[in-house]
Homo-oligomer: A and B are copies of this chain.
Amino acid sequence: MAVTIRDVAYASGVHVSTVSRAFSAPHLVNPETRTRVLAVAEELGYRPNRAARALTTGRTHNIGLIVADIANPFFPPLIKAAQAQARTRDYHVFVADTDEDPQVEEELIQTLTKQVDGVLLCSPRLTNKTIERLHEDVPFVVVNRRVKGMPTVLMDVGRGARLAVEHLRDLGHRRIALVSGPSGSWTSRQMHEAAAAMSGVDLVLLGPNPPTEQGGLQAAGDVAASGVTGVLAYNDLVAIGLMEGLIGRGVDVPGDISVIGVDDIVSGRLTRPKLTTIAMPTAAAGRMAVDMLLQSVGEGGGTPVAMLETDLIIRESTGEAPR
């Protein structure tokens, strides 16, 4: 068995409670005793058992991070950043993948609840109602979606969409398609609203579509047939699939049709032409979400909503409208 607080207490000739204090309430113990205890602990290789500690303190020092699909390139930078940020606060993170299944998501949250101080819900697929119910048992921070009364981290995709449409308009495009994502998606709705409000262009809504390359590929026919010269896609994956489908049909990108994606995943820099896209601050979102969660765990006050900036990155998949 591993070395416990008792071993340290015995070896340093003090009571366990003193050892405990030496670690978690240093000011309550004589400096000399403390140094001695710490030295002995070090020598024995003692590490406090966080689970046992959690039992009395009610603080696990763990958080849960639930995402729809780890393999979706949008998430890894967020996971990485969240995990790194958590570590600076001495927190560990459980990562769970729901495979886009709300059922799995709910179950995961429930089994995780007792082991964590809070949960980060990234692009959750659950209904608001279910989220609210589950929230009774554990603090949440929701990323990429708006749920009433819940601390939230959003990325301003509306602004991104406006920038994108402006960019296309400046290039002379007058008829633009929005190749949307899944029907329930908050992001998709934001994009639509922002784009629809822009003057000087006609907007054609094409969707819903699965948020994947496949989804984009399948939409290529409709896009080609729609007579648009510019496209704003739900995300980079969709944009990449779309470009593939378009090029496969003999459509030139950006000669005939300009394409803009969302997310700025690394793959977007590798396509030919390189993808113009709206960069999402995923890493910043991960960090901020962790901060918010630990904040709300500590105090419980308020329901902060953060809106992070997005930016348009112009590469090669957009150009002058054909005339």
Q: What is the CA–CA distance of A62 and B49 in the complex, to the nearest angstrom?
A: 14
- A95-B93, A96-B83, A96-B87 known; A51+B47 contact, CB < 8 A: no
Q: What is the CA–CA distance of A60 and B77 in the complex, to the nearest angstrom?
A: 28
User: Which residues in B have their C-beta under 8 angstroms from that of A84?
Assistant: 97, 99
**Can you identify 20 A-B contacts, CB atoms within 8 angstroms?**
A2-B113, A2-B137, A47-B111, A47-B114, A50-B114, A50-B115, A51-B55, A62-B94, A69-B80, A71-B80, A73-B266, A75-B76, A83-B96, A84-B97, A92-B111, A93-B94, A94-B95, A95-B95, A266-B267, A272-B272
Residue of B nearest to A282 (CB): B71
Q: How many residues of A contact B (CB 8 A)?
A: 45
Interface string of A294-317 (1 = CB under 8 A from B): 000000000000000000000000
Q: Are A270 and B80 in contact (CB under 8 A)?
A: no
Our pick among B54, B95, B110 for the contact of A83 (Cβ within 8 Å) is: B95
Q: Are B76 and A80 in contact (CB under 8 A)?
A: no
User: Which residues in B have their C-beta under 8 angstroms from that of A52?
Assistant: 55
A79 within 8 Å of B (CB atoms): yes
Our pick among B96, B97, B114 for the contact of A2 (Cβ within 8 Å) is: B114
User: Which residues in B have their C-beta under 8 angstroms from that of A49?
Assistant: 114
Residue of B nearest to A65 (CB): B95
10 new A-B contacts, CB < 8 A, other than A2-B114, A70-B83, A71-B77, are A48-B114, A49-B114, A73-B76, A83-B96, A87-B96, A92-B96, A92-B115, A94-B95, A240-B270, A267-B270
Q: Are A97 and B110 in contact (CB under 8 A)?
A: no
Residue among A92, A96, A137 with the highest chain B CB neighbour number at 10 A = A92
Counting from the closest, the 5 A-B pairs by CB-CB distance are A272-B272, A95-B95, A70-B80, A51-B51, A267-B267
A271 within 8 Å of B (CB atoms): yes
A203 within 8 Å of B (CB atoms): no
Residue among A93, A115, A270 with the highest chain B CB neighbour number at 10 A = A270
Residue of B nearest to A83 (CB): B97
Q: What is the CA–CA distance of A97 and B92 in the complex, to the nearest angstrom?
A: 11
